[in-house]
Amino acid sequence: MSDPADLTIAAAGAKLRSGELSSVDLTEAVLERARMSESHLHAYLTLDQTGAREKATAADAALAAGDDRGPLHGIPIALKDNMCTKGIETTASSQILAGWIPPYDATVVSRLQAAGSVLVGKTNLDEFAMGSSTENSAYGATRNPWNTDTVPGGSSGGSAAAVATGSALAALGSDTGGSIRQPAALCGVVGVKPTYGLVSRYGLIAFASSLDQIGPFTRSVEDSAVLLEAIAGHDIHDATSIRGEIPNFRGSLHHGVAGLKIGVIKELSGPEIDPEVRTSVSKMHDALADAGAEVTEVSLPSCEYGLSAYYLIAPAECSANLARFDGVRFGLRSEGATTEEMMAATRAEGFGPEVIRRILLGTYALSAGYYDAFYGQAQRVRTLIRQQFAAAYEGVDVLVAPTSPTTAFEIGAKTDDPIAMYYADVCTIPINLTGDPGASIPIGLDSADLPIGYQVMAPSLGEERMFQVAQAVEDIANFTARAPLATSEVVSP
């Protein structure tokens, strides 16, 4: 029998119910994988071994007693460390929250608990989710399990690396400009950013409120659908959460793509995309056409301005969202002669350079005299992008593009060049601005054996169609390679 840590949620669920496997066995396998890999990867900030074992034991007892909470029952899942967990340190990878233990659970955490899942731990991220490489963590970078000299992507790099490695069967991340899809692509796993408002943000430490959305990392499209079903749905604690019934995302999973209209985004197909990525993605377009889809090229000229608009809107929102970290009520407090000096010292010491850069950028963009030229203009661009995507979806069912312009880059390669780093999000940012859903599916490896991700986007609340196409992509790609670190041969140093 293969190592349980390598199972999908669906496969593990079947074994748990047939009695072939217990949640305790599964959890121990995952913890063992973490024990072997963490010194190489640093995917986790907190590994809650005791809590995980207790929950696994309880899950087994409940299942034995006939209390089956559904497909996530007994499944070990990791959480990005920007989601509040009652009683478990939550830092968002920032010094300013070192040692902070939330007095409440994020809504997604309560929902995962109600679904009987087992929380393995809290994963590393770029500080406050600001970054594309998980190098901006106050607690050290996470490495890519395919090649530990490269980054796992970001900001949810810890979650992506954990799922790719097998130190969790699935994980949650948050996606503000690509922070789920891009690391999913770089780590060779499936990552989904749902429609804005589909998953409650209550308890997610905000980066940019109008863009942030929680979503799953899994090893299969089906698993992502399962995990999303468990966490989606209206929440009275989030005024922006969408009301209405959550559809069964697995309903049309295997319906294929015959007759579907697929639009290839022209502006994300050019020379700005790495040739190997472009070739691989282009082959998938052809394969989808061979499978019966009507594949056409769609031009979305405003895409070009998405990055600029994003890097005004997100910092502007973050400049206010992060104002609460002032040393007064929680977290780090530095010394200062006056209250203002204490606040300033706390923030100067507690925040890392990228966070400070974005706070300054956002403060500037919102300032009197600059608001119209920067924040106001960015909002107008956002409206334009929304209109162009909505118009495109009148002609096609889904849009496709690479998830990332490159495969995983070397650690340190872009840390001194913020603009180059920001460019890593060029393919993912547009649908954060529109609020539409998108998924990244691994479709192959480049010549350096690094994974390539394929992005499927759908109109608002079009998750069923998105999963249907994503499943077809997964079936065609038949991506079975596993990261070198996700094997039992690795020996801890």
Instruction: By CB under 8 A, name the binding residues for another protein.
Output: 82-84, 90, 92, 97, 100, 102-104, 106, 201-206, 208-210, 236-240, 316-317, 319-320, 323-326, 328-330, 338-340, 343, 363, 366-368, 371, 375
Backbone angles phi, psi at 210, to 5 degrees: -85, 0
Buried b or exposed e, range 376-389, using 16+ CB within 10 angstroms: ebbbebbebbbebb
326: helix, strand or coil: coil
How far apart are alpha carbons 411 and 415 in whole angstroms?
8
Q: Which helix (H) or strand (E) covers residue 198, if one does?
A: none
How far apart are alpha carbons 36 and 76 in whole angstroms?
17
Which of 23, 132, 155, 460 is catalytic? The answer is 155
Residue 271: count other Cβ atoms within 10 Å of its Cβ: 7
Give the residue with the Cβ less far from another protein, 146 or 374: 374
Give the residue with the Cβ less far from another protein, 300 or 322: 322
Strand locations in 13-149, DSSP E? 44-47, 76-80, 118-123
How far apart are alpha carbons 365 and 376 in whole angstroms?
9
Is 155 annotated as catalytic?
yes
How far apart are alpha carbons 196 and 186 in whole angstroms?
23
Written as six digits, the tokens of 478 are 């038949």
Q: Are the CB atoms for 428 and 156 separated by under 8 Å? A: no
In sequence order, the 6+-apart residues with CB closer than 8 A to the CB of 160 are: 152, 153, 171, 173, 180, 183, 184, 186, 187, 189, 191, 217
Give the residue with the Cβ less far from another protein, 32 or 89: 89
In sequence order, the 6+-apart residues with CB closer than 8 A to the CB of 42 are: 124, 139, 140, 141, 142, 143, 158
Smallest distance from another protein to CB 343, Å: 6
Which letter does DSSP use for residue 233 in this model? S
Smallest distance from another protein to CB 204, Å: 6
Smallest distance from another protein to CB 366, Å: 4
Give the residue with the Cβ less far from another protein, 371 or 423: 371
Residue 245: count other Cβ atoms within 10 Å of its Cβ: 7
Smallest distance from another protein to CB 240, Å: 6
Give the residue with the Cβ less far from another protein, 362 or 451: 362
| 4 phi-psi bin (left φ>0, alpha ψ -120 to 50, beta other) | alpha
Which of 23, 132, 156, 179 is catalytic? The answer is 179
Smallest distance from another protein to CB 326, Å: 6
How far apart are alpha carbons 178 and 164 in whole angstroms?
18
Which of 22, 37, 55, 80 is catalytic? The answer is 80
Beta bridge partners of 144: 147
Smallest distance from another protein to CB 72, Å: 22
Give the residue with the Cβ less far from another protein, 169 or 433: 433
Give the residue with the Cβ less far from another protein, 147 or 195: 195
Smallest distance from another protein to CB 406, Å: 31
Which letter does DSSP use for residue 268 in this model? G
How far apart are alpha carbons 282 and 432 in whole angstroms?
24
How far apart are alpha carbons 333 and 346 in whole angstroms?
5
How far apart are alpha carbons 323 and 339 in whole angstroms?
14
Written as six digits, the tokens of 398 are 């889904």
Residue 150's identity, in one-letter code, is T
Give the residue with the Cβ less far from another protein, 39 or 367: 367
Give the residue with the Cβ less far from another protein, 207 or 454: 207
Cβ burial of 51 (10 Å; 0-12, 13-18, 19+) is middle
Which letter does DSSP use for residue 375 in this model? I
Smallest distance from another protein to CB 112, Å: 15
Smallest distance from another protein to CB 175, Å: 16
Residues annotated catalytic, as ranges: 80, 155, 179
